[in-house]
Structure 1
Amino acid sequence: MFTPGVCLDILKERQESNGLGTLKNPEKFLDQDYELLHQYFLIRRKKYIDDMFPPDNSSIGEKLLEPESLAKVEWMRPTFWRFGKWVDVVIDDKLPTIDGQLIFVRPQSPKTPQSPGIPEFWPALLEKAYAKVCGSYEDMKFGWVSEALKDFTGGVHMTLFPEYENPKILWDLMHRAAIANSLMGCGTPGNAVSNVKQDNGLVAGHAYTITGVTMVTSNGNQVQLVRLFNPWGETEWNGNWSDGSQTWMTISEEERKKYRNNVEDGEFWMSMEDFCKCYCQLDICNYSGAFLDGSSESHWNLVMHEGRWLAGSSAGGCMAYKDTFWSNPQFLVKITDINKACEPATSQGPNMLVSLMQIPDQRNRRLTRNLPLGFSIFKANSRRGSIASYSNLVHATRDSKSLLNPREITDYVKLDPGEYVIVPYTSRPNKTAYFILGFCSKTETHTGEHFMTQDSDGKVMRQISEHYQEMNAEQLQRFLNENFIGGGVQSTGGFSLDVCQSIVAMMDNSVTGTLSAEEINNLLKRINLYKEIFFREDTNRDGILSLIELQHAVEAIGSFSCFFFSYSHCK
């Protein structure tokens, strides 16, 4: 796991083309291998029953159905993206039914010359596979639309809030997304549990799918329309441009025949203005980021990195906690000039999509309690500048608009060429969680020298991992003097054994009497930070901190003022 608070090399590809966890070579979800299971049960001539997601009521959940319905359930006989990796999900072919009818997804029976009306069961099997991923059928009711879109595609995802967007600009984005065959979902405000039908026909706290985006000419004026689908298959919008609305009579007969659908099937049209008034959230997801500007087919780069907030070490909270904010993980990003061939039509528009996803610590989605999170983007003005060096943290180039608690938040930002520090954070400090930070852009994303550690730190840590599983005080003393003091041991005395024993006691969170690789990483971060502060405060460059300089240095690291009187000079 990456060291908290350390800038990571975001140029390094997280996934190789055929590496484990990619679409071509997905990981085995719950360590279940389809081929091995297939051979095992084929040789023994037995039907496969999934013991990791058994065909019983535990896989449905206790509160999704009424007890009398749950008692009637009978069981009759895909690949998903999970937090940076593709996983292969194995299920059996048994599906829950009551009185011979499927309980949940009920595939229609197409009646065409090619199909005599035989039901298609693949949607129900796909639903079961996803229910297994979520924990149960009940767990699929929890979470956000964006989670399903991401899990099914693993693509570029962005969230917008129609109420705060310019309708015309938002429609243009949705139109590009529709042309690119993106998946789009949206939701109405309100209580998602009660699902009350409103006077306008929409259901409160309900998720809808966007199935079309078009423009028609009404009374000589261009009108932007959006087509939506209620997954219930009924209960539709009854305002302007609904199935029975008279506004359809204001357009040509040709357009009316092309778009109007006067059938109660859950699908309906509405104007873009009404859409922005009625829906509180819009999610767009596509395999590629090309829909973001639609200017060309040039390659979009998607880079993802895992990280961790660790309570007491690298979980500094939001910018309101100035004493600890700097301790959050930090990522140094270098933006280059965009290739002219990939220049968007509107060069002043955003050029990078930043996403932050938290990884849940529970398998069942309904048991997951997402933390409110966000991220800040700072302009790196100096080659070795870090967040800890900034005297005024309010001058962020960009900060995520609000602290939200979905699984993933995104922001489409405009960043001029240069170096930036991106700091992901939780709303409050000392909250332990794992996360994935993603960047999607047309520009090449580079990382410069790590601005809080030496260039050799990565090499040193690899050497440590090769020779030590744990490091005691004597080994730590030798390591620190060799890598940080070098030839200066004779003049300075270096790190004494007593000091190293104290360091082990302070950094040994696992209380083993030794330091693990992760604890050494945390120590390196602190040492390099203290070095940076020392050299910054040593204004006369004499290698000694005066009392005033020491006071400033200690204030910079948030220590107690009583330390000021312990030493008048510090070498």
Structure 2
Amino acid sequence: MKDEDECGGEPLFQDRDFPSEDSSLLCDGSTPIAGMQGHVTWRRPQEICQSPVLFPDNSNLAHAKQGLLGDCWFLCACSFLLKNKHLLNKVFPLDQPEWGDRRYRGAFKFRFWQLGHWTDVSIDDRLPCINSTLCFSRCHSPTAFWVALLEKAYAKLHGSYERLWAGQVSEALVDLTGGLAEHWSVGEFGSGEEQRPEMDSDQVRKRQLDLSLLDPVKDSCAISCSSHASTGAAELGQHHALTVMEWLDVKTLSGRKVLLLRIRNPWGRCCSGGAWIGSSGAGWSSVDPVSALDLQSRLAEGEFWLDEKEFLSQFDDVTVGYPISDEGHLKSIYTGNPLTHNHHLSGRWIKGHSAGGSRNSSSYGSNPKFWLKVCERGEVLVSLLQYRKWRNTKNYAQIPLTDSENTKHQHYQAIALHMWKVEKKRFNLSRKLNKTPCASTHCHAYEREVVLHGQLDPGYYLLVPSIYQPGAEAHFLIRVFSSCSISLSAIKSPAPSLPWRIDGEWETSSFQGSWVEGRTAGGSRNFQSHWQNPYFPFTVFDDTAVMSVNVRVTLHQSRPDSDLLPIGFHIYKSKEGEPESTLGGYEDPVASCVPHCYTQDVSLACCLPPGAYTIVPSTYQPDSPGHFTLSLARRIHRKVVKSQERLGRAIQEISHISVMQS
């Protein structure tokens, strides 16, 4: 396939892993953008305007304006990048050739923080349009495209644009910064709040907003506000997120102080009718005219001022993203101090082994456990981050790994983190766990990440992450940030006593392989050397009795957590009558476990029709050597054999011999 526009005689890059098709727009068609199917054209920026640029000269025009996609949560996080050039350069690496540059080839690279590592995501610059207008997010300047390109890369990371519909600002902030974010409640706890069973025996407390606490870091942290239902602000619908650009104390003519907050709406229009609206609001008459003009001149398109009382009445939650210094250190939102030490470890809750449930469960002590050693008194933050329960797949292999009993919170489990101070490393575990923890997240929450904060004395601390429901499985990451020297280690548990249990009868095969530099380390599909990767043929047999998932593939890399490669794999339909050596001629994969992830294992469950297939495992970059194990499980259907077998008595076997009659 060849792009119509060429540069220097070379075709422009076309991303085969995220093609310019409806499959990149939609996941399951459950959102309003499903109606766009078949009506979208994909255009490069030079086909949309005459002189495209990445960033406009006017910084106010660089901010994002929301389109037809419900991703205000992501756009609020993008605003934080414009305030922090070092973070923007991390996510959008410098010196990438753009339009008009002789080096331009229609490709851009971004980086997102994923599960402890920065992951590269490369895209082409073909953007979804209706006629010649961008469908989704754009800059306020019609000739600037950094927002639209970043949104496309983030959509590729998630598997489709549709998967960006509705989300948490905190998740996007962490993905764009590698830092932390916390939720704060504006309203009183209990007002219409659903009481759920995952609120365990610990005292339930919901963090209340305290703007004075954040005052020391207000100019460097990210702050977003959101509404859960229609409020007094005109046009503020349900579940909409906005950005707090700044707040300051303004002295009135009577001598008192009023706190004003400048709010940016991703829709690009004002949505408040309060006392400080435009230049005619009643509030402006209470301050000095010169100050009033100065404040009004700061407003860009889509911005408005609210005083503290209006702010607290119109919003339900505030998300606070931790500041990050130019040196890359997280800064505490509680003290403003840099947290110069950090560690992270991955783990897993496994049914029958380490999925012990909440403290209400007798099996709580079987949960994963970690040692945190604090060498001197200091400020410590500990976070528990769980992995999403679905993986990116394609076409009929789109099988979300969701909990059928939990449709409201289909992507995440209800998680919590508890911590105990111990005097020595040898202690009675059951007695310790029966005591009150020195710190905890107080209740299990359906959040991707929960955070503990405290000033800790020197010594050893026991960390126990848990899911509320015993037996619920998930992968997770423990992260620790501190102002003092620390160490983090996992407490080794015995090997699982129960095998991996799946429904039905399965046939499992395992293969050992290696990516060898210069030979079989071909990299992802974005590289021509992809077809040099090892490949593993297999067959799915015709079985009309099996209509659900019939293939499970798991790729495991043999490397320590501190030195993982980004790995993934594709499944291709083999061409009948052709040897496997013709892999390079294969069409697009029928199923994929992408994007490539920095993790020990990646897996995919899918439904494949009968036929011959080939699995191609790969690292993201070519020439990345490593060893791996590929496990393939295929569902098999056996007819029930009726017998008169009795316990303790052997079955008499009878052979039936068929004789050909001449």
Q: TM-score, normalised on structure 1?
A: 0.62
How far, CA to CA, are the matches of 2:128 and 2:186 in structure 1? 38
In structure 1, the partner of 2:417 is 375
Partner residue in 2 for 1:216: 250
Q: Secondary structure at the match of 2:354?
A: coil
Unaligned runs of 5+ in 1: 1-40, 110-117, 191-195, 340-350, 458-502, 519-571
Q: Give the conservation status (yes or no) of the 8 Å contact 1:383–1:451.
A: no
What one-letter code is carried by the residue in structure 2 that aligns with 1:99?
Answer: N
Distance in 2 between residues matched to 1:93 and 1:410, nearest whole Å: 37
Aligned partner of 1:425 among 466, 473, 477: 466
Q: How far, CA to CA, are the matches of 2:468 and 2:160 in structure 1? A: 30
Q: Which amino acid aligns with 1:227?
A: R
Partner SS for 1:260:
helix
> What per-residue deviation string (whole Å, max 9, x for no partner) do you get for residues 357-400 of structure 1?
1112423599562111111111213431254342x625111221
Q: Write the distance in 2 (CA, Å) between the matches of 1:242 and 1:410.
A: 37
**Partners of 1:313 and 1:57 in 2: CA distance:** 42
Contact 2:332 2:339 in 1 (8 A): no
For normalisation by structure 2, the TM-score amounts to 0.54
Matched, 1:358 2:386: yes
Instruction: State the Cα distance separating 1:162 from its structure 2 match.
Output: 3.1
Maintained 8 Å contact 1:234/1:264: no
SS in 1 for 2:11: coil
Using the TM superposition, give the Cα deviation of residue 87 of structure 1 relative to its aligned residue in structure 2, in angstroms.
1.0
Query: 1:197 Cα shift?
Result: 6.7
Task: Please report how far the alpha carbon of residue 224 of structure 1 lies from its aligned counterpart in structure 2 after TM superposition.
Answer: 2.3
Cα distance per residue 1:58-80 (max 9 Å; x no partner): 11113445566432210012211
Match of 1:73 in 2: 40
Identical columns (%): 27
Q: Tell whether 2:406 aligns with 1:385.
A: no
RMSD: 3.7
- In the TM superposition, 1:24-43 aligns within 5 A as none
Report the AA paired with residue 412 of structure 1: H
CA distance in structure 2 between the aligned counterparts of 1:105 and 1:509, rounded to whole angstroms: 43
CA contact (8 A) 1:232 1:266 kept: yes
| 8 A contact 1:226–1:269 mirrored in 2 | yes
Aligned residues of 1:146 and 1:283 also touching (Cα < 8 A): yes
1:447/1:242 CA distance change after superposition, 3 Å: same
Tell me if the contact between 1:378 and 1:421 (Cα under 8 Å) persists in the aligned partners. yes
State the secondary structure of the residue aligned to 1:420.
strand
Measured after TM superposition, the shift of residue 441 of structure 1 is: 1.7
Deviations 1:43-62 (CA, angstroms, capped at 9, x unpaired) = 99333211111101111113
Choose between structure 1 and 2 for higher RCO, CA contacts under 8 A separated by at least 6 residues.
Answer: 1
Distance 1:423 1:239, change over 3 A: same
* Offset, 1:411: 3.1
How far apart, in 1, do the equivalents of 2:219 and 2:238 lie? Answer: 29
Q: Distance in 2 between matches of 1:451 and 1:140?
A: 37
Matched, 1:315 2:355: yes
3-state secondary structure, aligned to 1:130: helix
Greater share of strand residues, 1 or 2?
2
Q: 1:261 touches 1:268 (CA, 8 Å); kept in 2?
A: no
Map 1:314-463; keep pairs closer than 5 Å: 314-321=354-361, 323-338=362-377, 351-364=379-392, 367=400, 369-385=411-427, 387-390=429-432, 393-446=434-487
> Which residue number corresponds to residue 203 of structure 1?
237
Whether 2:336 is the aligned partner of 1:302: answer no
* 2:153 alignment partner AA: A
- Distance in 2 of aligned mates of 1:446 and 1:67: 49
2:7 matches 1:51: no
In the aligned structure 2, how far is the partner of 1:133 from the partner of 1:267?
Answer: 30
Question: How far off is 1:247 after superposition?
Answer: 1.4
**In the aligned structure 2, how far is the partner of 1:263 from the partner of 1:257?**
10
1:187 aligns with 2:154: no
Question: Is residue 2:265 matched to residue 1:230?
Answer: yes
Q: Give the equivalent residue in structure 2 for 1:126.
A: 150
**1:84 aligned partner:** 116
For structure 2, the residue ranges without an aligned partner over 5 or more in a row are: 1-5, 45-109, 189-205, 401-409, 502-506, 509-555, 558-662
Measured against aligned partners, the alpha-carbon deviations of 1:247-281 in whole angstroms (never above 9, x if no partner) come to 12212223212223597932122233443343332
User: How many residue pairs were aligned?
Assistant: 400
Aligned partners of 1:201 and 1:236 also within 8 Å: yes
Label 1:369 to 1:94 Cα distance change in 2 as closer, same or farther (>3 A).
same
Confirm or deny that 1:270 pairs with 2:306.
yes
CA contact (8 A) 1:174 1:213 kept: no
CA distance in 2, matches of 1:303, 1:150: 16
1:354 Cα deviation after fit: 2.0
